[in-house]
Amino acid sequence: MSRYHVKDVALAAEGSARIEWAQRRMPVLRAVRERFAAERPLAGVRLAACLPVTAETGVLAQTLQAGGADVLLCGAVPGSTRDEVAAALVVECGIPVFAIDGEDEDTRHAHLEAACDHRPHLVLDDGAEVIAQLHSARREQLGGVIAGCEQSATGVLRLRALERDGKLAFPIVAVGETATKRLFADRHGVGQATVDAIARASGTLVAGATWVVAGYGPCGRGIAGRARALGARVIIIEVDPLRAVEAALEGHRVLPLSEAVIEADVIVTATGSRHVLAAHHLDLLRDGVVLANAGHSNVEIEVPALRVRAGDGGLQRVRPGVDEIALGDGRSAFLLADGRPVNFAADSQPTLVLDMALACHALAAEYAVRNAAVLERSVFAVPAEIDREIARVELGALGIEIDEQTAAQRRYVASWGLEA
33 binds a copy of itself (CB under 8 A): no
Spatial separation of the C-alpha atoms in residues 117 and 140, rounded to whole Å: 12
Check residue 286 for interaction with a copy of itself (CB under 8 A): yes
Cβ(104)–Cβ(111) below 8 Å:
no
**Which of the 8 DSSP states describes residue 283?**
G
Q: Decide whether 81 or 192 has the Cβ nearer to a copy of itself.
A: 192
Question: Is the CB of 143 or the CB of 417 nearer to a copy of itself?
Answer: 417
Q: How far is the CB of 384 from a copy of itself (least distance, A)?
A: 8
Instruction: Answer yes or no: are the C-beta atoms of 176 and 157 closer than 8 Å.
Output: no
Nearer to a copy of itself, 250 or 338 (CB): 250
Distance in Å, CB of 161 to a copy of itself, minimum? 4
Q: Please name the helix (run of DSSP H) or strand (run of DSSP E) that holds residue 118, with its range, or none.
A: none
Smallest distance from a copy of itself to CB 42, Å? 25
Neighbours of 414 (CB within 10 A): 7
Q: Does 330 bind a copy of itself (CB under 8 A)?
A: no
Q: Distance between CA 53 and CA 356 in Å, rounded?
A: 17
370-389: which residues touch a copy of itself (CB under 8 A)?
Answer: 387-388
Nearest to 280 by CA among 310, 253, 257: 257
Q: Least distance to a copy of itself from the beta carbon of 392, Å? A: 5
Binders of a copy of itself in range 342-361 (CB under 8 A): 347-348, 350-353
When the beta carbons of 165 and 329 are compared against a copy of itself, the nearer one is 165
- Does 16 help bind a copy of itself (rule: CB under 8 A)? no
For residues 167 to 206, the per-residue mask of contacts with a copy of itself, x marking binding by CB under 8 A and - elsewhere, is x-----------xx--xx---xx--x---x--xx--xxxx
Give yes or no for residue 9 binding a copy of itself (CB under 8 A).
no
Does 394 engage in binding with a copy of itself (CB under 8 A)? yes
Rounded to a whole number of angstroms, the minimum distance from the CB of residue 105 to a copy of itself is 11
User: Based on the number of CB atoms within 10 Å of its own CB, is 416 exposed (0-12), middle (13-18) or buried (19 or more)?
Assistant: exposed
Considering only the stretches 45-53, 57-65, 361-369, 408-416, report the one whose residues sit in contact with a copy of itself under the rule CB under 8 A. 408-416
Question: By CB under 8 A, which span of 43-51, 273-281, 304-312, 363-371 interacts with a copy of itself?
Answer: 273-281
Q: How deeply is 160 buried, as exposed, middle or buried, from its count of CB atoms within 10 A (0-12, 13-18, 19+)?
A: middle
Q: Determine which residue in the list 40, 119, 139, 319 makes contact with a copy of itself, applying CB under 8 A.
A: 319
Residue 45 CB, nearest approach to a copy of itself (Å): 25
**Smallest distance from a copy of itself to CB 373, Å:** 26
Please give the Cα distance from 112 to 106 (Å, whole number).
10
Answer for the pair 347, 229: CB distance below 8 angstroms, yes or no. Answer: no
| 25 is a contact residue toward a copy of itself (CB under 8 A) | yes
| Residue with smaller CB distance to a copy of itself, 123 or 299 | 299
- Name the one range near a copy of itself by CB under 8 A: 84-92, 138-146, 242-250, 367-375: 242-250
Pairing outcome for strands 46-51 and 122-125: parallel
Binding residues among 115-144 for a copy of itself as defined by CB under 8 A: 128-129, 132-133, 135-136
81 contacts 8 by C-beta, under 8 angstroms: no
Burial group, residue 201, by CB count within 10 angstroms (0-12, 13-18, 19+): buried
- Say if residues 203 and 336 touch (Cβ distance below 8 Å): no
> Residue 288, exposed/middle/buried by CB under 10 A (0-12, 13-18, 19+)?
middle
Contact mark string toward a copy of itself, 49..88, x via CB under 8 A: ----------------------------------------
For 315, the 3-state DSSP assignment is coil
Cα dihedral 60, 145, 185, 347, rounded to 10, equals 50
407 near a copy of itself, rule: CB under 8 A: no
* Candidate ranges 39-47, 157-165, 357-365, 366-374; the one touching a copy of itself (CB under 8 A): 157-165
